[in-house]
Structures are given as C-alpha cells and as structure tokens.
C-alpha cells in the first residue's frame, strides 16, 4: 500500500471557532465572525496566491499564502 506524501507538513486545527474581527477582544465594539468555506483553489504557478469561496461571503483572494485576504466579490 502506498504511503501518502506530505513533504513533512502537518495540518493544524484552527476551528471551527469564532474569530475576533476589528477591535480588541471584549471591547464593546468587538465583532466575532465565523463562516463556511465552499471552495479553495491555489494558483498554478504561484502557490502563495489562493482563492477562496465562502458560503455566506463571496470570493476572497490571498497573495501571501493565506496570511491576509481581500474580498473579490
């Protein structure tokens, strides 16, 4: 039986959980969000470019390997 290759990389649990968005935690204006991913795709030539489709929030693009995201519709 063939063994899967993962190039030494491991999955890291990051949820599901609510993410704090905006202000400091527990501040009166703090907003907590979460969502469901319905699609994920990596650029063919540049693996730092990632496209994400969110079930309730349109399309997103990252150009730094997922550290930051920008809405694309």
For 13-29, how does the pLDDT look when each residue is reduced to its tens digit (9 = 90+)?
Answer: 776 666 666 555 566 66
How much is the pTM?
0.56
Torsion of Cα atoms, 64 then 65 then 68 then 73, to 10°: 100
How far apart CA 71 and CA 69 sit, in angstroms, is: 7
Select the more confidently predicted residue: 21 or 53: 53
How far apart CA 53 and CA 65 sit, in angstroms, is: 16
Mean pLDDT score, 45-66:
91
pLDDT at residue 50 above 90?
yes
**Position 51 confidence tier, pLDDT thresholds 50, 70, 90:** very high
Q: What is the pLDDT of residue 1?
A: 65
């Amino acid at each position: 039986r063939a063994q899967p290759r993962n190039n030494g990389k491991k999955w890291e649990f990051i949820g599901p959980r609510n993410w704090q968005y905006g202000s400091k935690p527990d501040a009166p204006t703090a907003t907590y969000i979460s969502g469901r991913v319905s699609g994920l795709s990596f650029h063919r030539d540049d693996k730092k470019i990632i496209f994400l489709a969110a079930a309730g929030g349109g399309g997103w693009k990252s150009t730094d390997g997922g550290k930051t995201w920008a809405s694309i519709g």
